[in-house]
Each structure stands twice: as C-alpha cells, then as structure tokens.
Amino acid sequence: MRVLGWIYLALAYGFIFLPVGALVLFSFQDGRLPVPPFNGPTVKWYADVLGDRDLMAALVNSLMVAAASSAVALVLGFLAAQGLARVALPGSVVMRGLLIAPMTVSYLIIALGLLSAFNHIGLRPSLMAAGIGHVVINLPLCFAILFAAMGAHQQNAERAARDLGASELRVLWHVSAPMLRPALLAAFFLSFTFSWDEFIIAFLLTRFDVTLPVEIWSMLRSGLSPATNAIGSLVFLVSVALLVVLEFTVFRKVRK
C-alpha cells in the first residue's frame, strides 16, 4: 500500500512533467525538428528567438497589457470590495453577484461579446481592446480576493482614522491599502499571470500589435520547431521565477 503510493506519485509526476521536460530539452536541439534523437545542445534557438523582432514586440505588448489591465482591475476591485464590505447597501447581494458573474462565463463568450460590441461602436481591435477584456476577466478575481481578505479589525482602524479627520482618500491609501498589502499583491500577480497567459480574448480583440500567446499561436502554424520550444521554455522560466518570488514574499507573509 505504502509502496504503491510512492509509485503512483512518481508516475503522476512523470505524466505532469513529460511535456514540459520534452519542451525544455528539445529547445536545445541541434537540428530542425524538436523530436528524438536529441542531437546535442545548442543555444542557437534562444538566440533566434531573442533576436526575433515580432516576438520581442509581442512580449513587450503582453507585459504592458498585463500590467495595465491588472492595475485597473486591482483598483476597481479594491474600491468595490471596500464599499461592499463597509455597509449593507440595498441590493449588495445582487451587486456582489454581478461583479463575480464574469468568472462563470467562458473567455470565448466574453471575447465574442466584446468583439461584437466594439465592432458596433467602431472601436478597432487593438491592445487597448484586449486590455479592456482582461480587466473584465480579472476584476471578479481581484474583487473576490480582496473582499474575502477584509475583516472587522480593519474596519475599526478605518473608522478610527476617519474620526480623527482623515479624508476618504487618505483612509484608503494610508490605512486600508497597507493592511491589505498581501491580498493586494496576490490579486495583482494572479491577475498579471492570467492576463499574460490569456489567448482567446487577445486573439479576437487584437490585430496588428498582438500579445505573446497570439504570436506563439501564429508560430505554431508552421509546425513543430525548436524555436517554439525555446520561447515556450522562456515563458515557463519567467512564470516559475515569478512564482518563486511570490512564494518567498507574499505567501510566506500571509501564512505567518
């Protein structure tokens, strides 16, 4: 029984890491095809990828869209969570439901709705349009995380600050935000990774300037290539680095 457990664990890890392992290994392939046999290591493909103008432009676009859309989602979510946690407004259950609702709808449907709407008002596909879409998917996430993180002790501190004459903005900036710092960071970074990785909304709502997943998608059309492996491995590396940083900063503090 005990041995079976360890065998299962090993097999599961094997299954989980098989594609990623192959991805990284064959990004160093000295040859045109990222399949066995492995011809020995080369960093040629990484040089190719890093020198590729379109890819690097897409990478910068992705970073911009992710940062901007996460920031907007965070601010909107933070304010809404503050408002709804403070007093029982008439219809607060409905409002909460409405704010969470986009979470339950497929990205494809959100993208299609926005595409039709933007077509209707004459807004052309652009990074801005994709960013708006990313705020729509990340706002529920930020709101839910921050709403769950708010507690009574924080409301007391806010009330005390207000009683002492602090303006609304000062309360939010000097009292609420610092108290919610771990949750704010977690919400921001989660939003960032979701936006960074999002494909279908960006695919439908951008045209000439595209984000990285869309650019990678167009690379796939030309079939398997070690270059795709290389850019995939780089993206993986960035995500893992981000995760490690998060683990040792935000989440460690949350658990304390």
Partner 1 sequence: MSIEQAERRRASALVAPALLWTLAFFVLPFAGMVWLSLGHLEGREVVAGPGPENYVRIFTDPSFLKGIRVSLEITLVVTVISVVLAWPLAWIIAMRVPQRWQRLALMLAVLPFWTSYVVRSYSWALVLGANGVVMQALIGAGIIDEPVQIMATRTATVIGFVHFFVMLLTLTIYSNLVQLSPNYARAAADLGASGWQVIRLVILPLTLPGVMTGAFLTFVLCIGDYITPQILGGNNELTLPQLIMLQLGRRGDFPMASALSVVLMALVTLAYAASARWLKMDRV
Which residues, other chains included, contact 44 with Cβ-Cβ below 8 Å and sequence gap of 6+? Answer: 30
Nearest to 92 by CA among 81, 84, 100: 84
Stretch that binds partner 1, among 12-20, 47-55, 63-71, 179-187 (CB under 8 A): 12-20
Q: Give the one residue of 116, 164, 169, 222 binding partner 1; rule: CB under 8 A.
A: 116
Q: Which residue number, 26 or 46, has a Cβ lying nearer to partner 1?
A: 26
Distance CA 185, CA 163 (A): 28
Q: Give the one residue of 14, 16, 32, 39 binding partner 1; rule: CB under 8 A.
A: 16
Residue 14 interacting with partner 1 (CB under 8 A): no
Please give the single-letter amino acid code of residue 244.
Answer: V
Q: Which residue number, 43 or 108, has a Cβ lying nearer to partner 1?
A: 108
Q: Least separation, in Å, of the C-beta of 101 and partner 1?
A: 7
Distance CA 38, CA 219 (A): 22
Q: Give the one residue of 46, 59, 77, 191 binding partner 1; rule: CB under 8 A.
A: 77
Nearest to 202 by CA among 212, 192, 193: 212
Residue 87 interacting with partner 1 (CB under 8 A): yes
For residues 29 and 45, the answer to whether their CB atoms sit within 8 Å is yes
Stretch that binds partner 1, among 46-54, 63-71, 178-186, 232-240 (CB under 8 A): 232-240
Q: Give the one residue of 70, 213, 227, 250 binding partner 1; rule: CB under 8 A.
A: 213
Q: Give the one residue of 69, 70, 82, 206 binding partner 1; rule: CB under 8 A.
A: 82
Exposure string over 31-70, b if 16+ CB within 10 A, otherwise e: eeebeeeeeeeeeebbeebeebeebeebbebbbebbbbbb
Residue 197 interacting with partner 1 (CB under 8 A): yes
- Of 123-142, binders to partner 1 (CB under 8 A) are 132-133, 135-136, 139
Residue 20 interacting with partner 1 (CB under 8 A): yes
Size of the site for partner 1 (CB under 8 A): 80
Q: Least separation, in Å, of the C-beta of 117 and partner 1?
A: 4
For residues 61 and 211, the answer to whether their CB atoms sit within 8 Å is yes
First to last CA, the chain: 35
For 40, the token pair is 């020995």
Q: Least separation, in Å, of the C-beta of 189 and partner 1?
A: 11
* Integer-rounded Cα radius of gyration of the chain: 22
Residue 220 interacting with partner 1 (CB under 8 A): yes
Q: Give the one residue of 28, 45, 46, 107 binding partner 1; rule: CB under 8 A.
A: 107
- Of 145-164, binders to partner 1 (CB under 8 A) are none
Residue 114 interacting with partner 1 (CB under 8 A): yes
Distance CA 234, CA 80 (A): 36
Distance CA 159, CA 153 (A): 10
